[in-house]
Amino acid sequence: MLKSDLHGLGALFITLTICFLYFFSQRFPILFSPDPNGKQKKSRLQSLDIARLKQRIEKLLEEEKIYRTEELSISVFASSLNEEGEKITPEQISEFVNTTYEKNFNQFINEYRIKEACELLISNPNLSVLTVALSVGFNSKSSFHPAFKSFTGMSPTEYREKNPKNRF
């Protein structure tokens, strides 16, 4: 009997302690901040013209179609954005894409690749899936398929079959 009473009191004490800490953290969040100074993490984007950066990124992707580059890395992408007087780091690109588009760099680039692949699959039914994959920047069919399926919910072949060129 004594042992079970101690267990019950111990469980009650732990429960009350957890509840106390939770309510205390809600009342005084600054005390539970991961930063010991209670400050928010400093953005790497503060020194950049965000509107100009967004324009430059869109131009690189939509006009120059840099996403077609097979070995495109975030470092290569950042270097392509550098202008006289303003140098963009890979870390800044990463933070910008994460905060602006709510996806990581690879997801961001693959979205452009898959959109063009969808257009090619429909407009050029004679092109093989591999040819389409390589032309939009993927380096293999095995990397293209999961990315395509993740974005569209179906395989490239299924997409082509469900979206014929002449739907009228």
Q: What is the pLDDT of residues 25-76, one digit of tens each?
A: 777 666 665 655 545 567 777 778 888 889 999 999 999 999 999 889 999 9
* CATH number assigned to the domain comprising residue 123: 1.10.10.60
Residue 109 confidence (pLDDT): 97
- Mean pLDDT for the chain? 85
The owner of tokens 């004679």 is 126
Q: Which of 63, 81, 102 is the last residue of a domain?
A: 102
Are 119 and 87 part of one and the same domain?
no
Specify if 157 maps to a domain. yes
86: which strand partners?
Answer: 83
Are 129 and 112 part of one and the same domain?
yes
Measured in whole angstroms, the distance separating CA 99 from the mean position of its chain's CA atoms is 9
With beta carbons less than 8 A apart as the criterion, state whether 66 and 72 touch.
yes
Tell me the two tokens of residue 156: 């490239």
Q: Which structural domain range is residue 158 located in?
A: 108-162
Q: What is the percent of the chain where pLDDT is above 70?
A: 85
Total structural domains in the chain?
2
Reply yes or no on whether the pLDDT at 167 is more than 80: no
Specify if 83 maps to a domain. yes
